[in-house]
Amino acid sequence: MDKKQIRKEAIERRNAIPYSQIEQKSLQIQRKLQSLDLFTSAKEILLYFSIDKEVQTIQLIQENHQTKKIYLPILKSKTAFEVGRIRNLKTLEKNMYRIPEPKKLNVDDNPTLDLIIVPGVAFDKKGGRLGMGKGYYDRFLAQHKKIPRLALAFEEQILDEIPKGPYDEDVDFILTEKRLIDCQNEQKII
Residue 189 clears pLDDT 80, i.e. is over it: no
- What does 8-60 look like in DSSP terms, one character per residue? HHHHHHHHTS-HHHHHHHHHHHHHHHHHSHHHHT-SEEE-----TTSPP-HHH
Q: How far is CA 122 from CA 6, 48, 69, 151, 152, in A?
A: 8, 16, 27, 10, 10
The answer to whether 139 and 80 are in contact (CB under 8 A) is: yes
Cα angle value 33/54/49 (rounded, 5°): 75
CA distance 49 to 43: 18
Output the pTM of the full model. 0.93
| Mean pLDDT score, 64-71 | 94
User: CA 94, CA 45: separation in Å to the nearest integer?
Assistant: 20
pLDDT tens, 172-186?
999 999 999 999 876
What is the C-alpha separation between 163 and 124, in angstroms, rounded? 10
All domains in the chain, ordered by first residue: 3-164+175-188 (3.40.50.10420)
Going by their DSSP bridges, the two strands 180-182 and 173-175 should be labelled as antiparallel
Rounded CA separation 54/26 (Å): 9
Please give the residue that has the higher pLDDT: either 188 or 117.
Answer: 117
Instruction: State the pLDDT confidence band at 70, using cuts at 50, 70 and 90.
Output: very high
**pLDDT tier, 160 (very low <50, low <70, confident <90, very high otherwise):** very high
Asked whether 101 and 92 are in contact (CB, 8 A), the reply is: yes
Instruction: Give the pLDDT band of residue 110 (cuts 50, 70, 90).
Output: confident
Burial class (CB in 10 A: 0-12, 13-18, 19+), 5: exposed
